[in-house]
């Protein structure tokens, strides 16, 4: 977690200092991006890899020619799980003006829902968890629009718990089940952005 905080501070501080020194003529402006793609990985690797869908909507502000920050919401699928992450995003352009390479970090929390037909248990509660999604993005600029090709890694936590009781000759018995999943996926996305 310490490295993530240091990355955020570095990603914001360095471009702001460079822009101040260069005294560039730049105006802060709104940006938006819609991303969609595939996630490849395994939850239970004994049954093999799974390919699942992923989509994001990111609204942000371009602070410098290189630095962009924003907030995003997504929809991810992991076999029996549906996850909706809400995250902060920071991206920094490494090269190029219109076309170029970006480093991006999405960090946030998600809500999760498991397929109840798969787990019909009483007193059922489900919860999401931390989302960490670093990516390398190649961006092709077209006037006020851009096309993005993103390749990265995503770590998503989700789980459920259930508690039920039943009567035995010895008295009332309580049973509790708790399951925690950690989804680790390689993510490939294509997106469309605007200013």
pLDDT (0 to 100) of residue 143: 80
Mean pLDDT is lowest, of 35-49, 130-144, 180-194, for: 35-49
Q: What residues contact 157, with CB distance under 8 A and at least 6 apart?
A: 110, 128, 129, 130, 131, 180, 181, 182, 183
DSSP symbol at 80: T
pLDDT (0 to 100) of residue 95: 86
Q: What is the largest CA-CA distance in the chain?
A: 81
pLDDT (0 to 100) of residue 23: 46
pLDDT (0 to 100) of residue 180: 84
| Residue among 113, 45, 47, 107 at smallest CA distance from 77 | 113
pLDDT (0 to 100) of residue 21: 45
Mean pLDDT is lowest, of 42-46, 69-73, 91-95, 138-142, for: 42-46
Mean per-residue pLDDT of the chain: 84
pLDDT (0 to 100) of residue 68: 94
Overall average pLDDT of the 106-134 stretch = 82
Overall average pLDDT of the 68-93 stretch = 93
- Local confidence band at 20 (pLDDT 50, 70, 90 cut-offs): very low
Backbone angles phi, psi at 111, to 5 degrees: -100, 145
Overall average pLDDT of the 141-146 stretch = 87
- Local confidence band at 4 (pLDDT 50, 70, 90 cut-offs): low
**% of the chain residues with pLDDT over 70:** 81
Write down all domains in the chain, each with its CATH number in brackets: 2-194 (2.40.160.20)
- Indicate if the pLDDT at residue 61 is higher than 90: yes
The whole-model pTM stands at 0.78
- Indicate if the pLDDT at residue 116 is higher than 70: no
Backbone angles phi, psi at 99, to 5 degrees: -100, 135
């Amino acid at each position: 977690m310490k490295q993530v905080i240091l990355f955020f501070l570095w990603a914001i501080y360095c471009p702001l200092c460079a822009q101040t020194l260069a005294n560039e003529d730049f105006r802060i402006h709104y940006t938006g991006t819609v991303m969609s793609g595939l996630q490849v990985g395994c939850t239970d690797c004994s049954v093999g890899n799974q390919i699942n869908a992923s989509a994001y909507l990111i609204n942000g502000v371009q602070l410098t020619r290189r630095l962009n920050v924003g907030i995003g919401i997504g929809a991810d699928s992991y076999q029996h799980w549906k996850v909706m992450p809400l995250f902060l995003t920071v991206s920094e352009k490494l090269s190029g003006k219109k076309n170029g390479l970006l480093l991006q970090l999405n960090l946030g929390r998600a809500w999760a829902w498991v397929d109840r037909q798969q787990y019909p248990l009483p007193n059922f509660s489900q919860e999401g968890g931390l989302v960490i999604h670093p990516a390398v993005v190649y961006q092709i600029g077209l006037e006020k629009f851009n096309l993005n090709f993103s390749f990265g890694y995503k770590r998503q936590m989700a789980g459920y718990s259930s508690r039920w009781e039943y009567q035995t000759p010895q008295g009332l018995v309580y049973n509790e089940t708790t399951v925690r999943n950690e989804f680790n996926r390689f993510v490939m996305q294509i997106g469309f952005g605007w200013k």
